[in-house]
Amino acid sequence: MLNITDHGRVRELRIDRPPANALNGELLRTLQSSLDTAAAEADAVVVAGRPGMFSAGLDVPELLGLERADFTGLWRGFINLQRTIATLPAPIAFALTGHALAGGVLLAVYGDYRVMPRGSYKTGLNEVKIGLVVPETPFGALRRLVDPVVAAELVLGGEMITSERAAAIGLVDELVDSPEAAVASALAWCERHLELPRDAMLATRAMARRDLHALFEDEDAVRGDRFIDFWFSEDTQRRLHALAASLGK
């Protein structure tokens, strides 16, 4: 599910759960433990995906089989993973190696840097289209990257946008010509920052990301339970089952 490669001082975590790198409980736990380890062992981190697909988001067909208590545990683990990315003491870049949808790009908004290939690749937060609401904490992280009006349009319309559009609005920092070039560019970004005086770089980074950390000061069970309530509502369950059927499962 996750291939780990060290490039000198930079650790690459490459998600490899075919076909869509969908996030299920096992993958979320693996990402969490690998990031915890990387925080202690590496000076910077790159999170990448499979060529053509970074992640399609939550594994809806699998998660539909969970009872509320089990889904609640998974969701809170997902929130903790977001917190870990946001507060990681080392620079973290995301190589969005293809489509980065819903929960996939949701993780990337907490990174320091995002690279994506040009072409037909799409990204966006389409939760509203299946009866869900983008949680307030990742919405706050999104508003750090793009104009607040644009952020509102993205989550309200739930439209998928091209990588070029994502770069134009600031959701993506750099466009490259191929998925592998995205990984190389993310690694190069990390390496450039590791060439800076380390203590000064880390102190400046902490200052620049203080508002991102503050988003989690307001994160509580009530916010999480609101998403869970939507997930288990009759209308959303109907839409989620229809989505799962369309995926052939």
Q: What angle do CA 63, 127, 144 make, to 5 degrees?
A: 120
Q: Provide the pLDDT for residue 247.
A: 82
State what percent of residues in the chain have pLDDT above 90: 94
Using 50, 70 and 90 to split pLDDT, how confident is the model at 110? very high
Q: Does 235 score more than 80 pLDDT?
A: yes
Question: Mean pLDDT of all residues in the chain?
Answer: 95
Decide yes or no: CATH 3.90.226.10 for domain 2-200+203-246: yes
pLDDT of 11 strictly over 80: yes
Confidence grade of residue 140 (pLDDT, cut at 50, 70, 90)? very high
Position 223 scores a pLDDT of: 62
Burial degree of 69 (CB within 10 A; 0-12, 13-18, 19+): exposed
- pLDDT of 222 over the 70 cut: no
pLDDT at residue 35 is higher than 90: yes
- Confidence grade of residue 224 (pLDDT, cut at 50, 70, 90): low
